[in-house]
Amino acid sequence: MALIELNGVTKYYEMGDQVVKALDGIDIDVEKNDYLAFIGSSGSGKSTMLNILGCLDKPSSGQYHLNGKNVESLDANELSEIRNLEIGFIFQSFNLLPRATALGNVMQPLVYRGIGHRKRKEMAMESLERVGLGDRVDHLPNQLSGGQRQRVAIARALVTHPSILLADEPTGNLDSQTTIEIMQLFDELHAEGHTLIVVTHEDEIAKHCHRIVEMKDGRVFNDSTTSSAAVTS
């Protein structure tokens, strides 16, 4: 069974008198340890796809199964729980708490799991060390560079040991050298067995992934493996 199964997924939005079809009959499977990019221009449906995959929104029709769970049948509390258990989010704008240290930011998702403070700190330290920030744990976000802030966000996503790492334009606010470093980290995480889904409009970012799904007008336009997959397989 695939980690993610989308069958006939369609998403409509009502905008005044108009109905906009953001996704139109999407059929796609994602296997464990896939390294996949959704790529497309503005309006292609890739952002809506991210919201559906991340359980931030539900399909208007069709089925979405995540780790065997029928997502569209879940209520708001169940969706919140599945997000916390299954998905690690990495955003373009980092989404860090400005008054919390790097350590405090990474510990935050563990609070919702009822994990004791000592264990939370231990797990967060381990996650920060994994992304190369073991010496920055007491720094506030405004004391960190953009690349370091994104590493904190990645550590926060990793700390819950999610089934999927879901990254939305993860290098959009970074310079070219820092972008290379962050994508190298993603490559390493995939090699360690993580499942990564990256939403991007940049071909150079997508080329790191082993599978590229091109979207256009809410549909899958092309679904192909890349030379990166051949190199590591």
Q: Report whether pLDDT(123) > 70.
A: yes
Q: What is the pLDDT of residue 232?
A: 52
Residue 132 domain-assigned (yes or no): yes
Report d(CA 205, CA 199) in Å as an integer.
9
Residue 182 lies in a domain: yes
pLDDT tens for 26-72 read 999 999 999 999 999 888 999 999 999 999 999 999 999 999 999 98
Looking at the structure of the chain, the number of domains it has is: 1
pLDDT, tens digit (0-9, with 9 covering 90-100), for 93-116: 899 999 999 999 999 999 888 889
Asked, for residue 146, whether it belongs to a domain, the answer is yes
Predicted confidence band of residue 120 (pLDDT cuts 50, 70, 90):
very high
Residue 205 in domain: yes
Q: State which residues form the domain around 139.
A: 34-56+86-232
Q: Is residue 76 part of a domain?
A: no
Q: Looking at residue 111, which CATH number applies to its domain? A: 3.40.50.300
Output the average pLDDT for the chain.
92
Domain assignment present for 213: yes
**Residue at 98 is within a domain:** yes
Structure tokens at 199: 């939403």
Which residue in 209, 213, 216 sits closest to 230, CA to CA?
A: 209
With respect to residue 74, please indicate whether it lies within any of the assigned structural domains.
no
Cα torsion at 188, 79, 122, 105 (round to 10°)? 80
DSSP letters spanning 80-130: HHHHHHHEEEEETT----TTS-HHHHHHHHHHTTT--HHHHHHHHHHHHHH
pLDDT at 228 exceeding the cut of 70: no
